[in-house]
Amino acid sequence: MRFSLFIVGSLLLSFGAWGIPQTQEIGVLPEIIVQEDREETTAEWDKSSVVPTLKLPKKRIEQKNAPNLSEALAGESGVEAQTSCATCGSKRITVNGLRGEHTTILVDGIPLHSAVSSLYGVDAVPLAGVESIEISRGTGASLVAPEAMGGVINIITEAPTKNEVDLDLATGSAQNWLLSGAASDTQLIPKARVFVSGQWNRQGYWDSNKTGVWDVDNNGVSDAPFFSNAGVLSKVMVDVGPRDSVELRYGWQTVGILGGSVDGTRPTTFLEKVELPKFKDNDVNQMYLDDPLKISDSISLVRHEAAGRWRHRIGETSQLQVTSSAAWQKQDSIYFHGYDYRNRDLLVFQDARVVTPITVEHILTVGADARLEQMDSSSTKLYSIKGLPPDDFKFQNAAVFVQDTWSPDWNHEINVAARFDYLNMNWPLQKVGERRVEKGLVSPRIFWKWNPTKTWTSRLSYGRGYRAPLSFFESQHGLSENGFTIGLTEIETAHSIGLSETVNVGSWEWNASVYGSQLHNLAYASAPVDAFSPAQFQNLSSPVNVISSGVSGTYRGASWSCEVSVEDFRLPSQYKRLLPVAAVEQRARVRIDKKLGSQWDFNVSTQVIGPRNLTEYGYDGHYATYESVDSGLGPVDIVKERKNQQAPVYATVDIGTSYRPARDWELSLSVLNATNFTQTGWGDSPLTWNQHGSDPTHFHLDNLHVWGPLRGRVVMFAVKATL
């Protein structure tokens, strides 16, 4: 029987609070002895922030050998990195159990990703040049991003503070390669500091021995796609004068994905005629006997990001900050369902604010921001041949906001803010249905940080947010081959309440939290009624309640550290059926870092995922086989033998060690997913005959029966040099 982890956490914190000595200063941890030149590897709660924020330091990210954002965040508290399609590799980063489109990704506090661009764009984000990642949970976590109803992922890029060059090279099994480098300079340009970084990564490769292909059951269809990305980041910080500073940043990113085929066959155009691919005995678990193009998706993505920020000091205590940014993304895709699809997504953001203390206790922030997102798409098969209406949209948003940070005494801090937004959503090329939504919304939030004792911090939060649902494309990994209609009449909104308790007991830091979110007007893609009708993008009429809770503890000692956590996500059945993939419901994790002398480090991390009833997620429409039967009017194909409907308890283990032969050199060896657990190896591949609706004759091949790891064990060796 499941129980609320919050209850357990409250008991732990109550026990700890009664036994806490009252001699330390507020927010000061017990002394931590750190070896010289050793970097922090444990995640840490930001004690200065009124918003509950977990910080992942650079060294921790590096230890994961993560080439992209989704892999860097996998398994962290409150966060899940979901793969919703084993062929095209579409990713979602979820926070607090909400959908991926309810997570806002910021770069240095600037919103550069939308729900559309983040479908494949999260894998475009390179980690070279990233100093840390902040995870803030709950609606209202960001003043400039009220659509962050689940939470905010804030990527902090490195600031040039010294003259240095870093080079990293990692290679491993399954043809994994990761090459990255960074350089910073503080003297090249007068009054300016410069930082440049770059990264290239590849996962998987096809050759005669299939050494880089994830095809555990050897049926001729890959369980996970080939993936590559590359990126460049440049950053300039200029001290214009005693009162002014300017920061300029530009990034270029690219992603390449090829899924399905195991021999490198890449589609160059869409299939003229879509037929059911042939498997032995019509069973997706048996050998694939047909053309590789019938099972292959190809996706390429190119992103450009530019941002500028000007800070001007007004008087002795006030500051004006002006931010401008733009992100342009182009996607080119061919899906094995028989269509091509390309889009260009432009996101422009402007923000201006003044921060000023009005009394000793109050700091006031007043500002305005505006956002424009426009997506244009093209498809020869869908638009030119079939005559379906394009999914182009234009979204405009203008807002004003005010925030007061009140610190009445040493033990309390209260942050109260409100935004008023005017939103205009328009789908100019849709032929039927609702094509425009205009709304004015008020989004309040309040955060209260209280220190009941010198080693106990309590945070209570409430926020109301909104999200503008814009495209059918954001609700699944590809469009419907029969088109879709817009039935949206409302903006998505959410109310969220959160409680986070952090207590230091000796060398342990404990945190217990619970978040409750109520979603209104949830946008979802309804299934078509038959094989010839379009789907519809519409609002859910009833509210959805999601509760996430967890307890975590971190021990920091002189030569070792330990992290433990247990989490629970309560998702209603109606909500589960609208998710693109089965979500994690219970999760436990243990991580140990050990320093061996002055040169060796060792770490091991174990994650256990609880069981799930896959039927609740709509997997009851997933079948392993089909057969031809006589309908009286001729033979028809009907699905049979439903796929596995129960996800088991499973565990993954990551192991790593590093050695420093000299101050500026580091060698490391890591084994990711050391137990080599995959859902295909367990006996349940992601391949499925996917039935739509109640008609057993309406189905096609898909690769979205996903509930566990798709990539097995990877051994990585890395060399890092600092010049």
CA distance 305 to 129: 15
| Residues 261-295 pLDDT 10s | 998 888 999 988 888 999 999 999 999 999 999 99
| 153: Cβ contacts below 8 Å, ≥ 6 apart | 69, 73, 79, 93, 95, 103, 104, 105, 106, 133, 134, 135
CA distance 635 to 282: 15
φ, ψ of residue 69 in degrees (nearest 5): -65, -40
CA distance 636 to 615: 26
CA distance 504 to 550: 17
pTM to 2 decimal places: 0.89
CATH number of domain containing 25:
2.40.170.20
Does pLDDT of 31 surpass 60?
no
Mean pLDDT over 642-655 rounds to 96
Mean pLDDT over 623-643 rounds to 89
| 502: Cβ contacts below 8 Å, ≥ 6 apart | 45, 47, 456, 457, 458, 459, 509, 510, 511
CA distance 290 to 262: 13
The domain total for the chain is: 1
SS3 per residue for 341-391: EEEEEEEEEEEEEEEEECCCCEEEEEEEEEEEEEEEEECHHHHHHCCCCCC
Does pLDDT of 32 surpass 50?
no
Strand partners, 718: 170, 668
Strand-strand pairing, 91-95 and 176-185:
unpaired
Q: 28-37, 50-59, 353-362, 556-565: which range is least confident on average?
A: 28-37
Q: Give the per-residue pLDDT at 529.
A: 62
* Structure token pair of residue 36: 């010289």
* Structure token pair of residue 721: 């040099």
Q: How confident is the model at residue 371 (pLDDT cuts 50, 70, 90)?
A: very high
Q: How confident is the model at residue 436 (pLDDT cuts 50, 70, 90)?
A: confident
Mean pLDDT over 675-687 rounds to 95
Strand-strand pairing, 103-107 and 176-185:
unpaired
Does pLDDT of 479 surpass 70?
no
Three-state DSSP at 708 gives coil
| Residues 150-174 pLDDT 10s | 899 999 999 888 899 999 999 998 8
Q: How confident is the model at residue 504 (pLDDT cuts 50, 70, 90)?
A: very high
CA distance 56 to 71: 13
Does pLDDT of 3 surpass 60?
no
Q: How confident is the model at residue 697 (pLDDT cuts 50, 70, 90)?
A: confident
Does pLDDT of 476 surpass 50?
yes
Q: 508-512, 569-573, 633-637, 655-659: which range is least confident on average?
A: 633-637
Q: What is the four-CA torsion angle of 640, 641, 643, 649, rounded to 10 degrees?
A: 160
Does pLDDT of 474 surpass 80?
no
Q: What is the four-CA torsion angle of 425, 428, 429, 431, rounded to 10 degrees?
A: 80
Mean pLDDT over 449-476 rounds to 86
Strand-strand pairing, 91-95 and 79-83:
antiparallel
Q: Give the per-residue pLDDT at 10.
A: 36
Mean pLDDT over 347-356 rounds to 96
Q: Between residues 531 and 553, which one has the greater pLDDT?
A: 553
Q: 360-364, 430-434, 620-624: which range is least confident on average?
A: 430-434
Does pLDDT of 98 surpass 80?
yes
Q: Give the per-residue pLDDT at 49.
A: 86
Q: Give the per-residue pLDDT at 548.
A: 95
Q: Give the per-residue pLDDT at 37.
A: 44
Q: How confident is the model at residue 563 (pLDDT cuts 50, 70, 90)?
A: very high
Q: Give the per-residue pLDDT at 64.
A: 81
User: To which residue do tokens 């859910």 refer?
Assistant: 540
Q: How confident is the model at residue 326 (pLDDT cuts 50, 70, 90)?
A: very high
Mean pLDDT over 24-45 rounds to 47
Spatial strand order of the sheet with 44-45 comes to 44-45, 53-57, 130-137, 151-157, 103-107, 110-111
Q: Which domain holds residue 412?
A: 5-722
Mean pLDDT over 5-32 rounds to 32
| 131: Cβ contacts below 8 Å, ≥ 6 apart | 58, 156, 157, 158, 159
Strand partners, 652: 607
Does pLDDT of 348 surpass 60?
yes
Mean pLDDT over 418-442 rounds to 83
Q: How does the average pLDDT of the chain come out, rounded? A: 87
* Of the ranges 202-211, 264-273, 467-476, 522-531, the best mean pLDDT one: 264-273
